[in-house]
Structure 1
Amino acid sequence: MQTRKEKLIEFVKSIRDAVHDEWVRFEFSHLRIARLIVYSMCLVVVVSICFYLFRYFNLFHTDVNSARYMLSALVQSQAAIVAIVITLTLIAVQLTASAYSPRVIDIFKKNPDMWILLGCYGVSIFYGFIVLKRVVGADGDVVSQSAIWSIGPISISFEFYVSLAYWLGAFTFVVLFPYLLNIVGLLKPENVIKRLAIEITKDKILNSKEDPVQPIMDIIHASIMKYDLETTRIGLKTVTVQVPEIIFADDEKKISRYFCDHLTRVGRVAISREDEESTLVVIENFKNFAKSTAEKGLKTATMLAARSLGKVGKAAAGKGLEHATTVAAWSLGEVRKAATEKELEDATNQAVFSLGEVGKAAAENGLEDATMQAVSSLGWAGKATAEKELEDATKLAAMSLGKVGEAAAEKELEDATKLAAMSLGDVGEAAAENGLGVATREAAKSLGRVGKGAAGKGLEHATKRAARSLAELTILSEELVKAVIQDYELKEEQDQVSFQKFIKIYEQELKELRAKKN
């Protein structure tokens, strides 16, 4: 059990974390006010401490010459320090802009810290000049203690003005710490991206001549070129989280296309450099965006995201990035699932179509694991849409499975071809049980294509699996399957040997099934 002390420490930590999080949120939403509060607090604390120390050590007695020398040295040192600090700041801005994007300069320009610091130093320096000008007296004299201004019972002497110049000098040195901390923080791409993300609003995307997302995309492109995966991940995640928040039904097409185009370009850059990790980040963000728009019931946005994700997956397959292609196929399956659950039929169809494109590209490039993932996702899609009685989507799933299976057979990917045949059987069975005649017919046609392709390449196990699936489908919808086979026999002019070989195995499987049934 926790001791009382441990509980107290934990409670204090939770309070501290809560205050910190609240302050960070406030600072991002009210930057100028937040920074003014920080510098004002520094001023109050420094002046209060200096006043207490001067009183405690009885320092309100200054020689005229000492005052002149001190004020002169203070003003000169302040001028030198502010010149060095501003120069270093501009160098830092230049380096950051050259490393990522010239648009980053706007962040530093809008950052209030530099202007507040210049104001603090300007006020302190000119105040020091004025006080220095007013210091009068011969050598050895003491600065006047006589009251020159009164507010009720409070009397202020010239000595106080001299002391205040020292205190302001101390303040200008102290504020260098929060200033430098802020500037160093801004040099981190993560903080620059967060500041830029504030500019991503619906009005700016729809009406502004300047693209509010482009500065972040510039940083992401630069990060990919330098293989800076963390910055790439942060940038994409920030945009992906921000954009769905501003999409609504009346403008979803324009904003979602705008976002998808940006993300697709990033994906193409990553793929062209064969940077699989960055490609995976792009795919993950497409998936997250599509799922979030599906949850909001945004059909067009989800459809566009699924289409773009398919393009990225297909391009990854073309470059032989098998893991990225596999993840793209799995992600499309997740998007399809979200769209189906929300009854977004067009988005479901697009996700299924994109799955087919990715699977076919994977098979054509000999990526068996990716092909099998696409086939598996298509199989689940076909069964789920059949249960929902979405005939177009079920038909599309069956057609896509046929194309992927054919491509897999052509590349002699027997396991993938066998899985395609098995999945087609499941989809056809689900379609038949739910009375989806068109989809059932498409499943039978696709099984014929896959079986013929497998037989032509001598893939015995895959051929037998396709024949078995077609035989099982025949038991459920015999007239429909027989009609499909007759169409094949009439239309097929090429590969008749392969087709007849497949049909022979099919007839054997059908005979066995009927024997077992009887």
Structure 2
Amino acid sequence: MQDRKEHSIGFVKNIKNTLHDWWMSYDRKLWTACIFVYGSLLLLVVSVGVILFTHFNLFHTEPTSARYMLSALVQSQAAIVAIVISLTLIAVQLTASAYSPRVIDIFKKNPDMWLLLGCYGVSIFYGFIVLKLVEGAGGEAVSQSVIWSIGRFSVSFEFYVSLAYWLGVFTFVALFPYMLNIIGLLKSGNIIKRLATEISKDKILNSEEDPIQPIMDIVHGSIMKYDIATTRVGLKAVTDRVIKIINSDDEEEISGHFCKHLERVGKLAVSRMDEESTKEVIGQLDFFGESTAEKGLQCATAQTAEFLSAIGVTAADKGLVVATWRAVEFLEAVGKAAADKGLEKATWHVALSLGVFGRSTAEKGLVGATRQIAWTLEAVGRTAAGKRFESATKKVAISLGDVGKAAAEKGLESATQRVVESLVALGRTAADKRLKDVAREAAMYLAKLAILSEEIVKTAIQDYESRLEEHDRESFQKFMKLYEQELEKLRVKRRT
């Protein structure tokens, strides 16, 4: 008995939760809007019909004419609704084949078709009932006797016949908003908007069907057709939705899931040599990374940096110069946003990602990209030093050292010089902020570069010193002493 009671309570709770979810959902808003539109249209048609029939004294119909008109009306409505539904199903099939089979769910949940079917069904069956009730021979009029009344208002059978005509007019007029809505729904932007409403934290974490995948299917198809507008809309819709639902409880799972989708899209765009789409992917990752940094989400921001770097490396492999530079630029933006918000772990990961990216561009002989990465590492490092993030700033020094080594080994003189200047700037800033371990780390990597390319390092240091202002010279001299100590250690080690 107790088990049955608990089962009943659980069943009632499930119904309440389902109704609550539906009431708060986007589907409820769609149904409400459609019911309002079709209801207003019905009220308008009936009101106009009453006014016109009253004004022109049309409330009199011969039984034969009534039977003929009602029969013709019902038949025409049945034919029209059959044609409309057939065309709708064809449109659904074509849309599903063009975008994704999961688009079918959008049409299935679309209230327009069900409301139109309901309106036609009510009108047709109402016409049948009235047709059955029509009495009288030719030459007579349909009965004007009152069937029922409410206060001052009375309704005759003639009114029922007239109402059948008005319902017929309404069902024909209702085709216009229906067709407008269906045609609008065939647009990729509207489909994406509907699919984006299905993305929720619970569905991403628990659902067997990935709510992001249908939009990614559309984006993949648009990239194959070089449809940049649809690609942009799809990526933005997913990014905006994920930013809205992500929080500190599940940031790692949600951001990882989202970034993997964008990585696949980015690599597809790169493989198609579609630089515009690649830039869109990079731009959305940047927006996501900066937004998660603003929310204080360490893991999500760190993951974004890693995936930005991965797409940038892939773009560099294919020679997409603008996309590569855009990835570097946005990594800097994410790194600075993370540092400004006090996210040292995320800043550390940005430095790591930039180091991997820089080594890759240096090994491929991309001088411009390597120089840009060195400058970006310097900017991130100085911001991190300003926040006294010792671990993150030290990682910047390590990444600069790795990039400089790769550039020197490939004989990229200009890139190596830029790395040297960035290391000096970072070391000077660390010395100024009294981050001794960071300054020594930067000095050590600078000394290693001097062993590989002594003349380049010497020239770069001289150029940097010539541009220094007077108030920066003290910290510069402190760093130079550390550099000379580290260089002497390496020389002694080499001699032994």
Q: State whether TM-score is above 0.5.
A: yes
- Matched letter for residue 154 of structure 1: F
What SS is found at the alignment partner of 1:54?
helix
Indicate if the aligned counterparts of 2:358 and 2:370 stay in contact, CA closer than 8 A.
yes
**Alpha-carbon distance in 2 for matches of 1:379, 1:258:** 31
Residue 465 (structure 1) aligns with: 460
Instruction: Report the alpha carbon displacement of residue 446 of structure 1 after superposing the two structures with TM.
Output: 2.8
Does the Cα contact within 8 Å between 2:116 and 2:174 map onto a contact in 1?
Answer: yes
**Conservation of the 8 A alpha-carbon contact between 2:145 and 2:157:** yes
1:240-279 correspondence to structure 2 within 5 Å: 240-279=239-278
Deviation of the 1:107 alpha carbon: 0.6
Secondary structure in 2 matching 1:62: coil
SS in structure 2 at match of 1:155: strand
- Which of 489, 492, 497 is the matching residue for 2:491? 489
Aligned to 2:344: 345
User: Shift of the alpha carbon at 1:64?
Assistant: 2.1
Distance 1:492 1:260, change over 3 A: farther
CA contact (8 A) 1:320 1:367 kept: no
Between the aligned partners of 1:400 and 1:470, the Cα distance in structure 2 is: 23
Residue 369 of structure 2: aligned partner? 370
* Structure 2 residues not aligned, in runs of 5+: 1-23, 467-472
1:80-104, Cα deviation, whole Å (9 max, x unpaired): 1111111111111111111111011
SS at match of 1:30: helix
Q: Which moved more, 1:50-59 or 1:61-70?
A: 61-70
Q: CA deviation at 1:43?
A: 0.5
Measure, in 2, the Cα distance between the counterparts of 1:87 and 1:97.
15
Separation (CA, whole Å) in 2 of partners of 1:380 and 1:139: 95
The answer to whether the 8 Å contact 1:27/1:34 transfers is: no
**Counterpart Cα distance in 2 of 1:380 and 1:27:** 44
* Contact map agreement 1:137 1:143 (CA 8 A) in 2: yes
Report the secondary structure of 1:374's partner residue.
helix
Counterparts of 2:337 and 2:183 in 1: how far apart (Å)?
A: 42
Q: Mark the CA change 1:449 to 1:468 in structure 2 (over 3 Å): closer, same or farther.
A: farther
**CA shift in 2, pair 1:244/1:131, >3 Å:** same
Deviation of the 1:411 alpha carbon: 4.3
| Cα pair 2:266 2:311 within 8 Å, conserved | yes
Aligned 8 A contact 2:27 2:109 in 1: no
Equivalent residue for 2:172?
173
Counting only pairs closer than 5 Å after superposition, residues 199-278 of structure 1 correspond to structure 2 as 199-278=198-277
Residue 127 of structure 2 is aligned to residue 128 of structure 1: yes
1:403 aligns with 2:398: no
Distance 1:334 1:168, change over 3 A: same
Do the aligned partners of 1:60 and 1:159 also contact (CA within 8 Å) in 2? yes
What is the deviation of 1:427? 0.8
Instruction: Specify the code of the residue in structure 1 equivalent to 2:73.
Output: L
User: Would you say the 8 A contact 1:325–1:362 is kept in 2?
Assistant: no
Matched with 2:186 is 187
Q: CA deviation at 1:487?
A: 3.5
Secondary structure at 2:107's aligned position in 1? helix
Matched, 1:108 2:110: no
Q: Which residue does the alignment assign to 1:421?
A: 420
Q: Which amino acid aligns with 2:460?
A: R
* Contact residue 421 and residue 469 of structure 1 kept, 8 A: no
**Percent identity between the two aligned chains:** 57
The corresponding residue for 2:7 is: none
Deviation by residue 1:446-472 (Cα, 9 ceiling, x = unmatched): 3234445556xxxx7676115666998
Report the Cα distance in structure 1 between the residues aligned to 2:166 and 2:476, rounded to whole angstroms: 94
State the secondary structure of the residue aligned to 2:198.
coil
Secondary structure at the residue paired with 2:60?
A: coil
Which residue does 2:432 correspond to in 1?
Answer: 433
* Residue number in structure 2 paired with 1:162: 161
Cα deviation for residue 181 of structure 1 reads: 1.0
Looking at structure 2, the residues matched to 421 and 376 of structure 1 have their Cα atoms a distance apart, in angstroms, of 10
Letter in 1 for 2:74: V
How far did 1:410 drift?
4.2
Letter in 1 for 2:214: P
Change (3 A) 1:151 1:29: closer
- Could you report, residue by residue, the CA deviation over 1:142-165 in whole angstroms, capped at 9, with x for unpaired residues? 222222222233222211111101
Distance in 1 (alpha carbons) for counterparts of 2:377 and 2:85: 60
> What is residue 42 of structure 1 aligned with on the other side?
41
Q: How many residues align?
A: 466
Deviates more, 1:345-354 or 1:381-390: 381-390
- Matches of 2:50 and 2:416, distance apart in 1: 84
The whole-number CA distance in structure 1 between the counterparts of 2:367 and 2:66 is: 84
Match of 1:503 in 2: none
SS at match of 2:306: helix
Q: What SS does the corresponding residue of 1:144 show, helix, strand or coil?
A: coil
Residues 425 and 470, structure 1, Cα contact 8 Å, conserved in 2: no
What is the match of residue 72 of structure 1?
Answer: 71
Give the Cα–Cα distance (whole angstroms) in 1 for the partners of residues 421 and 144 of structure 2.
100
Q: State the match for 1:53 in structure 2.
A: 52
1:461-508 CA distance string (max 9 Å, x none):
676115666998883245532332133324559xxxxxxxxxxxxxxx
Aligned match of 2:478 in 469, 476, 479? Answer: 476
TM-score for the superposition, normalised by structure 1: 0.85
1:119/1:243 Cα in 2 relative to 1: closer, same or farther (>3 Å)? same
Q: Distance in 2 between matches of 1:364 and 1:275?
A: 24
Equivalent position of 1:386 in the other structure: 385
Task: Quickly say closer, same or farther: Cα 1:155–1:39, change in 2 above 3 A.
Answer: same
CA distance in 2, matches of 1:144, 1:474: 107
Structure 1 distance, partners of 2:452, 2:48, is 87
Conserved? CA contact 1:253–1:300, under 8 Å: yes
* 2:328 partner letter: A
In the alignment, the residues of structure 2 paired with residue 141 and residue 104 of structure 1 have an alpha-carbon distance, to the nearest angstrom, of 55
Corresponding residue for residue 145 of structure 2: 146
Rate the CA distance shift 1:491–1:178 in 2: closer, same or farther, 3 A. Answer: farther
* Unmatched tracts of structure 1, length 5 or more: 1-24, 494-518
2:322, 2:447 → 1: CA distance?
30
Residue 94 of structure 2 corresponds to 95
Q: Matched residues in 1 for 2:102 and 2:407: separation? A: 47
Partners in 2 of 1:256 and 1:491 — Cα distance? Answer: 46
Q: Which amino acid aligns with 1:297?
A: G
